[in-house]
Amino acid sequence: MTTDRQDFVSGYYIFSVFPRGDGVSAYAHFLNCCEKLGIPDVTEQLQQMMILDYLICNQDRHFGNFGAIRDAVTLEWMGFAPIFDSGTSLWFDQYATKINALADAPAKPFAATQQEQLALAKKSLQTLDLTALDGCKDDVLAIFEQAHFGEPNRAQVLADALAARCKFLKEDTLI
């Protein structure tokens, strides 16, 4: 949430400020734009967003639902915007019986699949305290059991799927 003194600047605007060179990936171009604009701490925050998107199987992180915050008066960059709009996640379009937690899924905006996009976040993945995810299955289950999904076992399936993705992240960082 921003205040009347803060502006949200979308990733699309940031990405479009400078021309993208031939052979430059969308990811590298976005980081280059942020650096030229002077937006602080983008790489780590962007990579953490991609890791979260992998964990929750977010399939719609387009350039309009992430970006940076700047002071509306001084135009000074304040940093990366908090994460929002993760509605196209948690296997939203699949019945519980069809959820395969470790199957690769579509991703945006820097790669076609979540595995490819996760590979871009290797640096942050190596430095995150992934033990903070221990016990997340129980927390997620407790929250989701209060929801009324329409499928009697969906809360359990989603908790199991999230736990499987957490386990994969932990194992992947050991490689």
Closest CA to 9 of 42, 54, 55: 42
Q: Per-residue pLDDT tens for 27-51?
A: 999 999 999 999 999 999 999 999 9
Going residue by residue through the chain, which has 175 residues, state the pLDDT in tens, using 9 for 90 and above: 677 899 999 999 999 999 999 999 999 999 999 999 999 999 999 999 999 999 999 999 999 999 999 999 999 999 999 999 999 999 999 999 999 999 999 999 999 999 999 999 988 888 888 889 999 999 999 999 998 788 889 999 999 999 999 999 988 765 4
Residue reference for tokens 């903070």: 132
Sorted by where each starts, the structural domains of the chain and their CATH numbers stand as: 6-128 (1.10.1070.20)
Query: pTM of the predicted model, to two decimals?
Result: 0.92
Q: Per-residue pLDDT tens for 104-130?
A: 999 999 999 999 999 999 888 888 888
- State the SS3 of 62-116: CCCCCEEEEECCCCCEEEECCCCCCCCCCCCCCCHHHCCCCCCCECCCCCCEHHH
CB contact at 8 A, 59 and 107: yes
